[in-house]
Amino acid sequence: MKAAIVGSTGYGGVELVRLLQNHPYLELGTLISSSQSGEPLSQAYPHLSHLPFSFDTLEIEHLCKNAEVIFFATPPGVSSKWVPQLLEQGKAVIDLSGDFRLNSPEVYEEWYQIPSAPAEWLNQAVYGLSEWFREEIQTAQLISNPGCYPTATLLALAPLLQAGIISASSIIIDAKSGVTGAGRSVKQSMLYSEVNENLRPYKVDGHQHIPEIERFASQLAQEKITVSFVPHLVPMNRGILVTIYAQVLNNYTSSDVQEVYRQAYQEAPFIRLKQNEWPQTKFVQGSNYCDIGFHVDERTGRLVVLSAIDNLMKGAAGQAVQNANIRMGWPEDTGLHYVPLYP
């Protein structure tokens, strides 16, 4: 089956290229880049000089002829324009951008500061947090792939919220990300010399992943949830670690929490519950795993949950392929048997 990648010059797009090279059923039909149309892929990414692809322009007809599944790995505001036309042509679309993750145009426009996609399409989009929306994904025409921070956060929170064992108003998410999360666009603050040997909080007064986390956390908890969320930039390329703090309800114990996680994820091939050591980003590097560990602190009555992913894999391209697998009825881990690269 042929797949297209729109926005293939970013890090998320090129990670999709990597994954499709080793996928048994999906092959690359066309690579779209508006900015570098006509150029060979190996000019933008010399590490792929053995691959013969060039970038094409985004045109609906060309796309539809060359792909059954279309991945968008584009900046905000791009997929909202193009996706509706592709859906009308019956294509399956997996959108890695944030354009279809919120169901309210007003909330989208408040946090993203650009026009929203039409409300009717927002409602059709299925949220691609694979472990929690498997059934909906199987029949979705438009899958809205989660953000990197929301993936790490919601995979850690969802079992707790569903089981009702933490206080909904007490959730604090201290998030740390490697630098590829910022993409390949060129800014002074992302120069090596500025980031190296530095730890930098950013968007402390509001990150656009907050409404996404709150929307789905609320849905899973079946009550309104508002969270504190502070992201930090860590001097490394890949990896997200979120440290989540929440008040435990009703004296639930460590074994209760353990059991909640075990039940939630016993069938999930990419979730690894950690017991003898804490999650570290290197343990998942280059793989689709999400490692989760926790500690119930009796001194404070708080639960601390740690959740680690590779932001370009489970946090972007890996989960997108996982969703394509679910959508097509293939085993969920098809083409995703990546052992973490260590060290």
Task: Select from 85-93, 114-122, 179-187, 318-326 the region that touches a copy of itself (CB under 8 A).
Answer: 179-187
Nearest C-alpha neighbor of 117 from the set 86, 84, 95, 92: 84
The CB-side HSE value for 219 (13 A sphere, CA atoms) comes to 13
In the complex with a copy of itself, the residue whose CB is nearer, 126 or 179, is 179
209 binds a copy of itself (CB under 8 A): no
Residues with Cβ within 8 Å of 210's Cβ and at least 6 positions away in sequence, in order, are: 111, 227, 229
Q: Which of 20, 148, 152, 225 is catalytic?
A: 148
What are the tokens at 216?
Answer: 């789905």
Task: Select from 10-18, 115-123, 143-151, 315-323 the region that touches a copy of itself (CB under 8 A).
Answer: 10-18
- Choose which of 245, 259, 328, 330 interacts with a copy of itself (CB under 8 A): 245
- Choose which of 18, 207, 209, 327 interacts with a copy of itself (CB under 8 A): 18
27 binds a copy of itself (CB under 8 A): no
H or E stretch covering 136: helix 134-138
Rounded Cα distance, 297 and 299, in Å: 5
Site for a copy of itself in 75-134 (CB under 8 A): none
- Sign of the four-CA dihedral 129, 135, 138, 140: negative
Nearest C-alpha neighbor of 233 from the set 176, 275, 169: 176
Is 64 annotated as catalytic?
A: no
Look at phi and psi of residue 268 and say left if phi exceeds 0, alpha if psi is from -120 to 50, else beta.
beta
Burial, 159: exposed, middle or buried (Cβ in 10 Å; 0-12, 13-18, 19+)?
buried
**DSSP-derived pairing of the beta strands 200-201 and 228-233:** antiparallel
Cis omega (within 30 of 0) for bond into 40: no
199 binds a copy of itself (CB under 8 A): yes
Site for a copy of itself in 284-303 (CB under 8 A): 284-286, 289, 293, 295, 297, 299-300, 302
197 binds a copy of itself (CB under 8 A): yes
Site for a copy of itself in 251-280 (CB under 8 A): 272, 274, 276-280
In the complex with a copy of itself, the residue whose CB is nearer, 17 or 143, is 17
How many residues touch a copy of itself (CB under 8 A)? 82
Report the nearest approach of a copy of itself to the CB of residue 126 (Å). Answer: 27
Rounded Cα distance, 75 and 34, in Å: 12
Site for a copy of itself in 138-157 (CB under 8 A): none
241 binds a copy of itself (CB under 8 A): yes
- Choose which of 179, 217, 292, 309 interacts with a copy of itself (CB under 8 A): 179
316 binds a copy of itself (CB under 8 A): no
Catalytically active residues, by annotation: 148
